[in-house]
């Protein structure tokens, strides 16, 4: 990989492999459409289960999209060759935010099937729900979610527009302007995802709360965004012209970043457990009590093993982190476990008596992710695979003796 010939930094030389990307998009669209049709049949048979499974599927796709936006903003702020090589993948992911916002619409019609606070009968008989009704109500949640998507989308397209402007008419000031957008974008993303994660996920059990829930979700979305990006990078690295761009040092940096995000997620997860365990308050321990009994215990152990222990062991190796194919196996595992984690976060609130898995829990994530992947493929094919006029790109493309 380190001996690859580096192409001249011209946009025409870095056109994406349109035929291959289009093929992936068509397959994803077909799979998404078929699974969506099957899911509609599931909706007719069991609307309650449909909306509950839909929430997990929606949050999985949202995590990949927002995680990509956050990593993109992080790179604009810090620089480095690692981010320049995958910037266009991150930009393509973040530009699908309008579609993800559209994905939220069906969920709004089934709020009462998912959230106790959306059921007027339960609110009337539950003192805690009644006390929180001024904030936690359907109108408030919808307005806050709309605001979140508006702000996230504005930042995503502002960064993407500046990046395209750099391609069309390079200017020394554009890099600084992207940094000035990225800094508030990252900070406001963290703030708004904390709000959205409470509304979408934590409020499925409105009697429970956690002070670090939002940052826990941020850690998970960072893993989702980077894991998906690495899988796309592997797909492109097997084809020209992207094959010539990827060097061992880039892959090593991606591996180190994935390792850092995995450790970050584990830290937030354990921190939340320690805080609640040491507090030993009845209104807090119910979350973990439901997840260490019955079949949910197996899911908890699977998360600890496959979202932390296994990735941690393999990502400790510097040689492992330098091999994109091997790294992508861990990325695929982590992306799958992100869906399991989201399921684990909310499903016990509906099934405290024990583990319950429905076929819609698989069909709906496949449907939404398939449709989303088709949109992502279209966005990826629209621009050169590298930001050819970025002033730091020549240094990022230099072939180093040791990758």
Radius of gyration of the chain (CA): 22
Helices marked H in 292-323 — which ranges? 296-304, 310-315, 318-321
CB 185 within 8 A of CB 154: no
Distance in angstroms between the alpha carbons of the first and the last residue of the chain: 7
Confidence tier at 402 by pLDDT (50, 70, 90): low
Cα–Cα dist 269/347, whole Å: 17
Confidence tier at 6 by pLDDT (50, 70, 90): very low
- What is the pLDDT at residue 11? 77
Average pLDDT over residues 102-117: 96
Per cent of the chain over pLDDT 70 is 97
Residue 399 has pLDDT above 80, yes or no: no
Residue 166 has pLDDT above 80, yes or no: yes
Tally Cβ neighbours within 10 Å of residue 298: 10
For 104-139, b where at least 16 C-beta lie within 10 A, e where not — what string? beebeebbbbbbbbbbeeebeebeebeebeeebbee
- What is the pLDDT at residue 353? 86
Residue 201 has pLDDT above 50, yes or no: yes
Cα–Cα dist 158/357, whole Å: 41
Find out whether the peptide bond into 241 is cis, omega within 30 degrees of 0.
yes
pLDDT in tens, 58-87: 999 999 999 999 999 999 999 999 999 999
Average pLDDT over residues 96-122: 96
Q: Which H helix or E strand runs over 238? A: none
Cα–Cα dist 26/277, whole Å: 48
Cα–Cα dist 251/126, whole Å: 53
- What is the pLDDT at residue 196? 97
Confidence tier at 396 by pLDDT (50, 70, 90): confident
Show the tokens assigned to 347: 């499903």
Tally Cβ neighbours within 10 Å of residue 362: 15
| Chain mean pLDDT for the chain | 93
Residue 10 has pLDDT above 90, yes or no: no
Show the tokens assigned to 119: 């059921």
- What is the pLDDT at residue 13? 84
Tally Cβ neighbours within 10 Å of residue 42: 19
Domain positions in the chain: 16-389
Write phi, then psi, for 215 (nearest 5 degrees). -70, -25
CB 18 within 8 A of CB 392: no
SS3 352: coil
CA distances from 169 to 11, 23, 155, 163, 390 (A): 12, 31, 21, 10, 11
Confidence tier at 170 by pLDDT (50, 70, 90): confident
- What is the pLDDT at residue 1? 42
Please state the pTM of the whole predicted model: 0.95
Least confident of 201-210, 279-288, 327-336: 279-288
Confidence tier at 400 by pLDDT (50, 70, 90): low
CB 231 within 8 A of CB 386: no
Average pLDDT over residues 315-333: 96
Cα–Cα dist 133/125, whole Å: 12
pLDDT in tens, 346-380: 999 999 889 999 999 999 999 999 999 999 999 99
Tally Cβ neighbours within 10 Å of residue 164: 15
Return the top range by mean pLDDT from 11-25, 92-106, 267-281. Answer: 92-106
Confidence tier at 336 by pLDDT (50, 70, 90): very high
Helical pair 296-304 and 324-350, crossing angle rounded to 10 deg: 150
Cα–Cα dist 383/362, whole Å: 33
Average pLDDT over residues 91-116: 97
């Amino acid at each position: 990989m380190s001996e690859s010939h580096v192409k001249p930094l011209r946009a025409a030389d870095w056109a994406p492999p349109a035929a291959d990307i289009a093929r992936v998009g068509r397959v994803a669209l077909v799979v998404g459409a078929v699974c969506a049709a099957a899911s509609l049949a599931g909706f007719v048979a069991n609307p309650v289960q449909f909306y509950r499974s839909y929430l997990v599927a929606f949050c999985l796709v949202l995590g990949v999209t927002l995680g990509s936006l956050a990593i993109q903003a992080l790179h604009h702020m810090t620089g480095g060759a690692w981010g320049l090589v995958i910037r266009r993948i991150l930009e393509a992911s973040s530009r699908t935010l309008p579609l993800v916002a559209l994905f939220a619409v069906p969920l709004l019609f089934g709020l009462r099937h998912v959230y106790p606070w959306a059921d007027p009968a339960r609110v009337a008989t539950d003192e805690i729900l009644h006390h929180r009704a001024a904030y936690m109500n359907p109108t408030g949640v919808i307005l806050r979610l709309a605001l979140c998507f508006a702000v996230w989308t504005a930042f995503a397209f502002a960064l993407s527009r500046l990046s395209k402007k750099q391609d069309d008419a390079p200017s020394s000031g554009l890099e600084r302007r992207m940094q000035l957008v990225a800094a508030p974008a990252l900070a406001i993303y963290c703030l708004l995802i904390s709000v959205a994660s409470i509304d979408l996920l934590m409020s499925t059990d409105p009697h429970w709360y956690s002070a670090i829930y939002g940052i826990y979700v941020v850690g998970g979305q960072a893993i989702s965004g980077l894991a998906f990006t690495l899988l796309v990078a592997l797909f492109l690295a097997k084809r020209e012209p992207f094959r010539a761009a990827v060097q061992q040092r880039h892959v090593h940096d991606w591996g180190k970043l994935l390792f850092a995000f995995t450790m970050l997620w584990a830290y937030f997860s354990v921190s939340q457990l320690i805080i609640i365990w040491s507090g030993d308050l009845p209104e807090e321990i119910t979350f973990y009590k439901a997840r260490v009994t019955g079949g949910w215990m197996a899911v908890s152990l699977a998360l600890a093993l496959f979202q932390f222990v296994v990735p941690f062991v393999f990502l400790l190796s510097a040689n492992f982190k330098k091999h994109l194919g091997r790294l992508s196996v861990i990325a695929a595992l982590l992306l799958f476990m992100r869906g399991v984690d989201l399921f684990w976060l909310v499903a016990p609130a509906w099934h405290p008596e024990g583990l319950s898995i429905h076929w819609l829990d698989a069909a709906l994530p496949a449907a939404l992710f398939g449709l989303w992947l088709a949109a992502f493929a279209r966005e990826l094919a629209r621009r050169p695979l590298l930001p050819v006029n970025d002033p730091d790109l020549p240094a990022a493309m230099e072939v180093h003796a040791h990758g």
